[in-house]
Amino acid sequence: MNQAGFRKSGPGYGCPMSPEVLVVGAGPTGLLLASELARRDVDCLLLDLLDAPQGWDRATVVHGRSLEIFEALGRADPFLEQGVRTRAVRVRSDGAVVGALDFELAGGRYPFQIGVSEEVTESVLAAHLEALGGAVVRSTRLVDLRQDADAVVATLEHDGDRREVSAAWVVGCDGSHSKVRELAGIAFEGTDLADPWAVFDATVDGWEDGYDLVAAFLDVPPMILTPLPGLRWRVYLRPTPDTSDLVDEATQVVRTYMPRATLVDVTDPARFHCQSRVAARFRAGRVLLAGDAAHACSPAEGHGMNTGLQDAFNLGWKLALVCSGVSGRELLDSYDVERRPVAERVVASGDDAEAGQALTAAQERAARDAAMRKIFADPDSAHHEAAAHAELDRCYADSDAVLGDANDAFGPGDLLPDDLRVDGGDLHELTHRPGHTLLVVGGGATPPAEVLGLVAALERAHRDSRVVDAVVGLAPEPGDTGLRRIDRSALQRIGVKGVTLLAVRPDRYVGLRHDGGDPAAVQQYLAALAA
C-alpha cells in the first residue's frame, strides 16, 4: 500500500499509521463517530472497504432523536430541506384503516420524522467530517487484529498490499457481517429471519392518501410505504414465493384500498435477508462495536440506522475523554451498559413487529387489529408508542456513569426534555457543546443571589476543566442578575423546588442531579468519570 493510501491531514487524523482510534466502516455510524472524535481533537483513521459511497441504500427514516443529534452538530437543516416531513404512520388491514400513530404525541422537538434515502444521510455526515478536517480512507480491507494491554495492531489491505496500523482503540462500524466483531471473538447472538424482505422505489399513480404519512399495510403480503422526495415511495414488502413479481404483489395490496393505483417508474428492486441479533458484548478489551456491527433488527420499524447513530453519539465523547487521559478506560464499560439494553429492546420490538405481520389466521389478525386500535385510541399508550418510535424514551438510570438524587419527574440517566422554555427559547439549545454543561436551577422561592453564588463557585472550580464547557444559571424571576429565566412550568416538569444542579452530558443525558447547593457534588461526579 502506498503512503498516500493512508495519508490524511487535519485535526481528525494526525499520524495515520498510529491513530488513537481506528474506525472500520464509513456508513452513518462510522461517519458520525469519526466526526465526534475529530471535533474533540482525537486522531482518528476512518476506513471503508468500498471504493465509493453507495449510491442507493435501504434505510429511509430519520427519527426525531436523530434530528436532535444532527441539530446539536449544526447539521439538521440539510435533512429538513432535502427530506419529506412525515407526521404519522397510518395502518391498514383487511380492507380497513386500523388507525394512525401520530409522531407529535412523542412530545419531542420534532413532531415528525424525515423520509430520505440513506445515501443522503451519509453525504451530510461525510461533509460534516470533511469540514472538521477528516476524510474516509477507501478501498481498504481489515484483514487481522491483535491486541494487548496497550494497543491494537490492525492489518489492512489495499490493492493487494498489506500494512499494519497500531491504534489505542478500534471501533467496528462495519455492518452486520462485521470483520471487527469476528476478529474480536464476540458472538452475535440471535437468529436469521426466515422470510426475506424486498425493497424498491416507485411512484404510485392514483394514490389517494397524503404524502406526509408512512403507509403500513398488514395484509398478505404485508407492506410498508415510506415517503421520499419528489412524491416517490420506498416500498418494503414481504414477498410470498421467491419467484413472485414484486411490483405485482405490491400493486394488489394497494388496490385493495385504492382501486386505481398503479406502481410506475420502479427502480432498484431487490430481495434481502435480515437478522435479529445483538452482540454478546459491545466491548472486548480495546475493541468496541457500534451500529449494525453491534445489533441487527427487522427493518419494520426503521430503528437500525437511527440506533447506530445514538451508539456513536454515546461513545464519541466517552472515547475522547479516555484518549485525552481525563478518564480511565473503565468509562467505556458504561457504553455497553447503556447501549446494549437499548439494542436488545429494539431487536425484541422488531421481532414483535415481524410476528404481528406474519399472522394469517382471521381470528388472530382481528385480535391484533383490535389491540392496535386500542393503543391508538388511548392517549397514554399512544404517547409511549410515539416516544419509542422517535427513540426519545431511552433511559440510562442503571448506568455507573450517572449518579445523584433520584427524582420521579426527572433524574440521573434521563434525556433532557427538549421543550423546556428558557428566555423565549429552550433548554435544549444551551447544551449543544462537546463537553458537559452545568445547569444551576433555582426554584420559585430561591433568591437569585443563591443561584448566582453557586454559578460563580462552579465557574471558579472548573475554569480549566477538560470536561465542563459551561455553567448556566436559571431562575423563574432572575431580575437584572445575568441569570436566564426559566418557565415555572419547566421547573415543575423537572421537579425543582429549592436549588437543583444538573450536569448534562454531551449526548444531552443527565449525568448528575443534585438537589442542593453543594459544589462538591459535581466534583464527585467528575471523579466517577475519571476513575
- Residue by residue, DSSP assigns 366-390 as HHHHHHHHHHHHSHHHHHHHHHHHH
Cell 440513506 belongs to 118
Range 165-176 average pLDDT: 97
Q: Of 99, 101, 125, whose CA–CA distance to 111 is shortest? A: 101
On the question of pLDDT at 201 being above 50, the answer is yes
More confident residue, 405 or 425: 405
Range 4-10 average pLDDT: 36
CATH fold of 403-530 reads Glutaredoxin (3.40.30)
Torsion (CA) 66, 72, 78, 81 in degrees, nearest 10: 80
pLDDT > 70: percent of the chain: 97
Q: Of 288, 321, 327, whose CA–CA distance to 434 is shortest? A: 321
On the question of pLDDT at 244 being above 90, the answer is no
| Weakest mean pLDDT among 53-62, 133-142, 171-180, 342-351 | 53-62
On the question of pLDDT at 54 being above 90, the answer is no
Distances from the Cα of 380 to the Cα of 106, 370, 410, angstroms: 10, 17, 18
What is the DSSP track for 393-438?
Answer: ----TT-TT-EE---SSS-TTPBPPTT-EETTEEGGGGG-SSSEEE
Cis? peptide before 229, omega within 30° of 0: no
CATH fold of 3-57+118-187+280-352 reads FAD/NAD(P)-binding domain (3.50.50)
Domain spans of the chain, in order of start = 3-57+118-187+280-352, 76-116+193-272, 403-530
Under DSSP, the state recorded for 355 is H
Q: What is the pLDDT, as a whole number, of residue 16?
A: 53
Q: In what order do the strands lie in the sheet with 262-272?
A: 96-102, 88-93, 213-217, 223-228, 232-237, 197-205, 262-272
Range 417-429 average pLDDT: 83
The answer to whether the Cα torsion of 338, 342, 343, 348 is positive or negative is positive
491, 481 Cβ separation under 8 angstroms = no
Q: Residue 9 — pLDDT band, cuts 50, 70, 90? A: very low
| Weakest mean pLDDT among 14-18, 30-34, 92-96, 237-241 | 14-18
Whole-angstrom distance, CA of residue 449 vs CA of residue 455: 10
Q: What is the pLDDT, as a whole number, of residue 194?
A: 83
On the question of pLDDT at 6 being above 90, the answer is no
Q: CATH class for domain 76-116+193-272?
A: alpha beta
Range 362-388 average pLDDT: 96
Q: Residue 4 — pLDDT band, cuts 50, 70, 90? A: very low
pLDDT > 90: percent of the chain: 85
Q: What is the pLDDT, as a whole number, of residue 56?
A: 78
Give the three-state DSSP class for 529.
helix
Is 319 buried (19+), middle (13-18) or exposed (0-12) by CB count in 10 A? buried
Whole-angstrom distance, CA of residue 107 vs CA of residue 103: 8
On the question of pLDDT at 2 being above 50, the answer is no
Cell 410506475 belongs to 264
The β-bridge relationship of strands 275-279 and 223-228 is unpaired
301, 389 Cβ separation under 8 angstroms = yes
Range 312-325 average pLDDT: 98
On the question of pLDDT at 235 being above 90, the answer is yes
